[in-house]
C-alpha cells in the first residue's frame, strides 16, 4: 500500500459519499446519469466477484463490499426512488452504452492476463468498462451545460481517484521489480484522459470560490 | 502480460 493508492481509494469513497448525499440525502438525481451508475455497478460486481475466494486483505475486502453496496444503492434509488425518478432526466441521459459494453466484453475475452481463467477475462472486462463508464455522465453534463455544485465535486473526486491510481502504478513500477500491469495502465490513462476537459472547467470555476457552479461550453 | 497475479488492488 502506498500513499497514492490510499488517497485514490479515499477519493473514490468520497465520490460515493457525495453522490449518496445528493441522491439519498438530497433526494435529487438532477444531472446524474443512471447509465453511468449502472455501468459502475457492473464494473464492481464483475471485478470484485473474487470476494468469494480472494482474501487479499481486510482493507480490500471491506472496500469491495462498500463499493458494491454503494453502487447498487445508487442504482436502486435512481430507479425506484419517487423523488429521484422525478428529478432524473431519462431522455437527456441517452448515451448508447451498448457501444461501450460490447467492445469491452470482446476486449476482456481477447486481452487479459491469463486466457485460461474466466475470472481474468471478467476482471479485464471490468477494467476496460470502468475506463469508459463515465462517458454517459460527462455527455449528460455537456448537454446540460451547467453542473450543479455537488455533482461537480462528485465527478472531480471520481476523476481524481483514477489519476491517483496512475501515480500508484508508477510508484509500484519503480519500487517493485516484477510489477507491470499493462491492462490497468492503459485503461487508467484513458479513464483519466476523459476527465481532462472537465478538470479544466472545474478548476476555472472553482478558483473563484468552491460554491460556483461549473459551466461547460 | 503477467500471469493472473492475485489482485491486491481495488
Task: Encode pLDDT of A91-139 as tens digits.
Answer: 999 999 999 999 999 999 999 999 999 999 999 999 999 999 999 999 9
Integer angstrom CA distances of residue A156 from A42, A63, A89, A126: 21, 20, 21, 21
CA distance A122 to chain B (A): 12
CA distance B1 to chain A (A): 6
CA distance B7 to chain A (A): 7
A167 touches B: beta carbon within 8 Å: no
For A204-216, what is the mean pLDDT? Answer: 88
- Please say whether the beta carbons of A93 and A33 come within 8 A: yes
A71 touches B: beta carbon within 8 Å: no
For A177-193, what is the mean pLDDT? Answer: 93
For A149-158, what is the mean pLDDT? Answer: 96
Q: Which chain B residues are within 8 Å of A123, Cβ to Cβ?
A: 7
Integer angstrom CA distances of residue A201 from A17, A19, A155, A160, A198: 22, 20, 12, 14, 5
Task: Encode pLDDT of A42-91 as tens digits.
Answer: 999 999 999 999 888 999 999 999 999 999 999 999 999 999 999 999 99
**Which of B4, B8, B9 comes nearest A113 by C-beta?**
B4
- Please say whether the beta carbons of A7 and A150 come within 8 A: no
- Looking at this predicted complex, what is its ipTM? 0.85
Helix (H) or strand (E) holding A106: helix A98-110
A63 touches B: beta carbon within 8 Å: yes
The average confidence (pLDDT) of chain A is 96
Q: Give the pLDDT confidence score for residue A56 in this predicted structure.
A: 82
Put simply, the answer to whether A113 touches B3 (Cβ < 8 Å) is: yes
Q: Residue A63 corresponds to which cell in the numbers above?
A: 472496500
Amino acid at each position: 500500500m502506498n500513499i497514492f493508492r490510499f488517497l485514490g481509494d479515499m477519493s473514490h469513497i468520497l465520490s460515493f459519499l457525495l453522490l449518496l448525499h445528493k441522491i439519498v440525502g438530497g433526494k435529487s438525481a438532477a444531472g446524474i446519469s443512471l447509465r453511468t451508475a449502472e455501468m459502475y455497478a457492473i464494473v464492481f460486481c464483475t471485478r470484485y466477484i473474487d470476494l468469494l475466494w480472494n482474501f487479499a486483505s481486510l482493507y480490500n475486502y471491506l472496500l469491495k463490499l462498500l463499493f458494491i453496496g454503494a453502487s447498487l444503492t445508487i442504482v436502486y434509488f435512481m430507479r425506484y426512488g419517487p423523488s429521484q425518478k422525478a428529478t432524473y432526466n431519462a431522455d437527456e441521459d441517452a448515451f448508447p452504452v451498448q457501444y461501450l459494453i460490447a467492445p469491452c466484453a470482446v476486449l476482456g475475452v481477447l486481452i487479459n492476463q491469463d486466457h485460461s481463467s474466466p475470472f481474468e477475462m471478467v476482471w479485464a472486462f471490468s477494467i476496460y468498462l470502468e475506463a469508459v463508464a463515465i462517458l454517459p455522465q460527462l455527455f449528460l453534463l455537456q448537454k446540460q451545460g451547467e453542473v450543479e455544485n455537488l455533482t461537480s465535486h462528485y465527478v472531480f473526486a471520481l476523476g481524481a481517484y483514477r489519476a491517483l491510481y496512475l501515480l500508484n502504478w508508477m510508484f509500484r513500477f519503480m519500487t517493485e521489480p516484477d510489477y507491470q500491469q499493462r491492462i490497468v495502465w492503459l485503461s487508467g490513462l484513458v479513464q483519466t484522459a476523459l476527465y481532462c476537459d472537465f478538470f479544466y472547467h472545474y478548476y476555472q470555476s472553482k478558483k473563484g470560490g468552491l460554491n460556483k457552479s461549473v459551466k461547460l461550453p | 502480460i503477467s500471469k493472473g497475479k492475485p489482485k491486491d488492488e481495488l
